[in-house]
A and B are shown apart, each in its own frame.
Chain A
Amino acid sequence: MAAATEEPPASTGSVPRVDEAEEVHEATEGGRLERDDDDEILRFMDSLDGYLLLMDSLSSALRLGWLDLASARHSMGTSRVSSTLFDHKEQSAATKLQVVDSTDIQSSEPNPYFVLSKWHLEEKLSSNDAVSAQDTKPKLRFRGSTTAPEDGNHQSDAALAESSACVDTSSHVQRARSKALSVYGALVSPKLRTAQISFETALEVIVELANSRSNMLASFSQIKDE
């Protein structure tokens, strides 16, 4: 009995070190996996929290919109703010979405990313670019033949172009907004304009909500896979 009890310590001189190393390796591997799990769970909880906060913002924006719409109906009359006035002629939506596949999250769940494009602004900007490219060609040729202008002139030109683009964009948005309101007549209540802005804000929140939703579902599917 005594020999049997003495034997094990003698024979296990080097083996425990290997075991310990394996255990340490397994522990670090396990720790890393656990950390990854924790990170993913945190990301999921963050997206869930963001989703609920955005839903709260959406409720507020919609409430404002409904209130303004009710005020407009009160001042303009029920028959003038009604769904019967909707234009059923063929028309394209002025506010659209772009959908791209976001590949940053390694997940089995597809993760679409939505981008809002308001009042045909994308098309407007691209057409502006084309026009400005045509405009700049002769000017550059003209400048090349004369003496080089000072740096200040360059900056002021750029600033002018930028400000004119801003003015152009805002006037385009104003025209598009007026066109949407024209269904209800030429002279509409200012409250209807405020309602329009509130629903535009709601749309922006909705796009953020959709992105938060897809992040949440991607994180969720990754946690489930693990």
Chain B
Amino acid sequence: MAGRPSIPTISSALIAIIADEDTVTGFLLAGVGNVDLRKKTNYLIIDNKTTVKQIEDAFKEFTTREDIAIVLISQYVANMIRFLVDSYNRPVPAILEIPSKDHPYDPAHDSVLSRVKYLFSAESVASDRR
């Protein structure tokens, strides 16, 4: 407990979104859109012209910004940068993989569930306790 890293209390943090146009439009209607002084937004719209590099850069930017507490990413987009999403393990910002219009949510691909699913394998638990 003594070595437990503490999380600073943030009074007004943002929600970032990396998703298709309709999902981003909906969340902007709900009031999460933010544009700062340098015209940087807290969302990225994914269409068929968006490159994997752009998604990677946006993901890295959103996960390193201190004013962002949750990053919403469509699961099909997360699948494009799976290596990055799976290797991310900080508590804040929290990464949440959400369904999109054409791609329903699949628990088998969720990075959080992948992290914890090995508990369900009896062999892995036994080997840990040995």
Which A residues are closer than 8 A to B by beta carbons?
Answer: 44, 48, 51-52, 55, 58-59, 62, 65-66, 69-70, 81-83, 86-101, 106-112, 114, 117-119, 176, 180-181, 192, 195-196, 198-200, 202-203, 206-207, 209-210, 213-214, 216-217, 220, 223-224
Contact = CB atoms under 8 A, between A and B. Distances in A.
B70 A92 contact: no
A217 B31 contact: no
Interface residues of B, number: 54
B27 A203 contact: yes
A98 B96 contact: no
Given A109-B91, A224-B128, A90 B39 contact: yes
B13 interface: yes
B52 interface: no
Contacts of B122: none
5 closest A-B pairs by CB:
A94-B31, A95-B31, A199-B26, A93-B34, A101-B7
B32 interface: yes
B29 A196 contact: yes
Contacts of B35: 87-91
B25 to A, nearest CB: 6
B29 A108 contact: no
B31 A213 contact: no
- For chain A, what secondary structure do more than half of its interface residues adopt (helix, strand, loop), or is it mixed? helix
21 contacts: A51-B112, A59-B104, A90-B36, A93-B14, A93-B15, A93-B32, A94-B32, A97-B12, A99-B92, A101-B7, A109-B91, A110-B6, A181-B29, A199-B27, A202-B26, A203-B27, A206-B98, A210-B69, A210-B96, A213-B96, A217-B115
B28 interface: yes
A180 B28 CA distance: 8
